[in-house]
Structure 1
Amino acid sequence: MSTDLIPLLLTALALGLLGGGHCIGMCGGLMGAMTLAIPADQRKGWVLWRVLLGYNLGRIASYTLAGALLGGLGWLAQDIGLGRSLRTVAGLMMIAMGLYLANWWAGLTYVERLGKGLWRHIQPLASRMLPITSAPRALVVGALWGWLPCGLVYSTLIWASSQGHAGQSALLMLAFGVGTLPTLLATGVAAERLLALLRLRRVRITAALLVILFGIWTLPGPHKAWLMGHSTGQTHNDQPAPAFDPHQGPEQSDRLH
């Protein structure tokens, strides 16, 4: 694995973790409904966990597939010279996601509406699979529910595709999906405590600000060069002087002075 990919994977993982509150709002109810749809005599122990794991693995598989598909389009966009525009859209989507997480602006809900046309065709298929009585069926339902319109998924997906590589985009969406697991696998008392933590204003605002800062970092522009210059202690005027070569004669000495 390229060392350049590791920070991106950690970022995708963090985005999944930071968006935990949004995940509970979007998918928590679905998880609860599917759990209640399991026959009562099977709603315990390893049987329940097999269903929960199957559902979430299917959901993450859909995120990964979407990453591969959109990553291919991202490669095409970069190939025809639209890479900068794609990164601009990705950064703006991240900023919108941060504002949404902080309840400062709900504009991202308009983006979620873009996926409702596709969802109208998928939802009936998922509904026919209920009640879930086995892990394979949970896997299929999870794969279908993975296409539920979600601003958090959309913003992360556009960011992942802006890398311009189908395989890398798929890996980033896989890492993002893994980051959402702790929230959606929590049940009972653990889920209540986690939800209470994520609803704390300071936690929500901190997560939102981190996502906004990452969105600003994603945007192309001179701010990156400025930040990199400060992180290395150099500026554009701090160029190293050329080394003197005695074999070049006095002309080089004149240039150096």
Structure 2
Amino acid sequence: MIELLPLLLTALALGLLGGGHCIGMCGGLMGALTLAIPAEQRHGWRLWRVLLGYNFGRISSYALAGALAGSFGWLLHSLGLGIWLRLLAGLMLIAMGLYLANWWAGLTRVEALGRRLWRHLEPRARRLLPVTRARQALALGALWGWLPCGLVYSTLIWASSQGSAGLSASLMLAFGLGTLPTLLVTGLAAERMMALLRQRQVRISAALLVILFGLWTLPGPHHGWLTGHGSHDSASHSSSHSH
């Protein structure tokens, strides 16, 4: 549990740090979904029930994607290819940081890969409008979770590099919870948050933190001494030679 906590906090932080991207990518969609609720239900608990339904469905899809990607990551680790997956994860996070800072938009090409899947899902999502029940909101949110997003893809590859379906799903769940505050706020609070996230200092700081984490994720000797695996591996190696 002690080893798991830093990973969960990192996933949560990635969701929070990507808040500016979330508003740019999904803020308009969140507003459109809110307007899709009949006017008489757009207040009080009726509104919050639907908004929470959207986001619970979205985060559930992130967790499902994490489980699938984590299974693939486990396969690569079992084939001895885990180091290449970690390399890809680190590079994707660096690309995400550059994207958040508006220094390089190459990650948009990766998002384009998911648009083929979204073309098939979008008509199904439209059939659920207008939203009048929490069950509809949940289903619509589950489809929304597959919207092409570089931030999600970067985090998903990082989560899958852990080589465990369960852990990867947990990390994507934590990441989704990190995005929740940004996408739940509405009205004046949303405008204030948008103004805050658009400030150059805030955006650059968030981008640099993501880039630094990407650099830390890249394969290297630092993983051995940070986790103690290096000493363990060397001990087991010397033990095998003594026999």
Same fold (TM over 0.5): yes
Distance of 1:92 and 1:82 partners within structure 2? 16
Structure 2 counterpart SS, 1:38: coil
Moved over 2 A (4+): 222-225
User: How big is the shift at 1:39?
Assistant: 1.0
User: How big is the shift at 1:224?
Assistant: 4.8
Which residue of structure 1 lines up, in the alignment, with residue 134 of structure 2? 135
Which residue of structure 2 lines up, in the alignment, with residue 83 of structure 1? 82
Distance of 2:92 and 2:115 partners within structure 1? 18
Structure 2 counterpart SS, 1:133: coil
Q: TM-score normalised to the size of structure 1?
A: 0.87
Which residue of structure 2 lines up, in the alignment, with residue 97 of structure 1? 96
Which residue of structure 1 lines up, in the alignment, with residue 234 of structure 2? none
Distance of 2:222 and 2:42 partners within structure 1? 53
Distance of 2:18 and 2:133 partners within structure 1? 29
Which residue of structure 1 lines up, in the alignment, with residue 194 of structure 2? 195
Which residue of structure 2 lines up, in the alignment, with residue 50 of structure 1? 49
Which residue of structure 2 lines up, in the alignment, with residue 37 of structure 1? 36
User: How big is the shift at 1:169?
Assistant: 0.2
Alignment of 1:149-160 (within 5 A): 149-160=148-159
Which residue of structure 1 lines up, in the alignment, with residue 119 of structure 2? 120
User: How big is the shift at 1:223?
Assistant: 5.1
Which residue of structure 2 lines up, in the alignment, with residue 205 of structure 1? 204
- Structure 1 residues 53-62 or 130-139, which shifts more? 130-139
User: How big is the shift at 1:199?
Assistant: 0.6
User: How big is the shift at 1:38?
Assistant: 1.1
Which residue of structure 1 lines up, in the alignment, with residue 235 of structure 2? none
Distance of 1:165 and 1:40 partners within structure 2? 44
- Is 1:68 the counterpart of 2:79? The answer is no
CA RMSD of aligned residues (A): 1.6
Distance of 1:194 and 1:51 partners within structure 2? 22
Matched AA of 2:98: L
- Is 1:145 the counterpart of 2:162? The answer is no
User: How big is the shift at 1:222?
Assistant: 3.5
Structure 2: gaps spanning 5 or more residues: 232-243
Alignment identity in percent?
A: 76
Which residue of structure 1 lines up, in the alignment, with residue 173 of structure 2? 174
Structure 1: gaps spanning 5 or more residues: 229-235, 237-257
Which residue of structure 1 lines up, in the alignment, with residue 218 of structure 2? 219
User: How big is the shift at 1:42?
Assistant: 1.1
Distance of 1:88 and 1:98 partners within structure 2? 16
Structure 2 counterpart SS, 1:3: coil
Deviations 1:225-254 (A, max 9, x none): 6x85xxxxxxx9xxxxxxxxxxxxxxxxxx
Q: 1:28 to 1:108 in 2, by over 3 A?
A: same
Higher relative helix content: 2
Distance of 2:127 and 2:184 partners within structure 1? 23
Distance of 1:3 and 1:82 partners within structure 2? 26
User: How big is the shift at 1:213?
Assistant: 0.2
Distance of 1:169 and 1:39 partners within structure 2? 37
Structure 1 counterpart SS, 2:156: helix
User: How big is the shift at 1:41?
Assistant: 1.1
Larger Cα-atom Rg: 1
Which residue of structure 1 lines up, in the alignment, with residue 5 of structure 2? 6
Matched AA of 2:117: L
Deviations 1:182-216 (A, max 9, x none): 00000111111111111110000000000000000
Q: Tell me the matched-pair count.
A: 229
